[in-house]
Amino acid sequence: MKKKQSKSAAGTKVVTEAGSKLREIREGRGLTMRDVHGESRSIAQKHGRKGFEMVPSRLHMLERGLHVPNVFRLYSLSTIYGISVKDLFALYGLKLSGALHAGKK
């Protein structure tokens, strides 16, 4: 009999796989963690919000599946990697389709 995986374990697996994929994307574009940090710092300065900045230690944690990025850092990664935010959300098992409507299920 196959043991059912808990939701927590399944969520951890998704985050770990997303992190690995983000590392593949970064390395595939020839970017170092410092490159990503520099570009994200420029984005943060442009928007006047430090939340866009991705320091190397945070990126390392993200790529190891130990951290989930906030929406501002997802925006930075999207801009730096040339990937849509929708595709980044999909790495984490989230689907964005059409407009999001508050209160509708």
Residue 8 has pLDDT above 80, yes or no: no
Mean pLDDT of 8-33: 91
* 8 Å CB contact between 85 and 74: yes
| Residue at 71 is within a domain | yes
* 8 Å CB contact between 36 and 82: no
| Residue at 83 is within a domain | yes
Global confidence as pTM: 0.80
Nearest partner of 24 among 91, 96, 69, judged by Cα: 91
> Which long-range contacts does 18-22 make (Cβ < 8 Å, 24+ apart)?
18/65, 18/91, 18/92, 18/93, 19/62, 19/63, 19/64, 19/65, 19/66, 20/63, 20/65, 21/91, 22/62, 22/63, 22/77, 22/81, 22/91
| Residue at 6 is within a domain | no
Question: What residue has token string 């998704």?
Answer: 14
Q: Which residue has the higher pLDDT, 101 or 20?
A: 20
Q: Which residue range is the domain that position 54 belongs to?
A: 13-91
Predicted confidence at residue 2, as pLDDT, reads 52
Predicted confidence at residue 105, as pLDDT, reads 47
Read off the CATH number of the domain in which 87 is found. 1.10.260.40
Structural domains counted in the chain:
1
C-alpha radius of gyration, the chain, whole number: 15
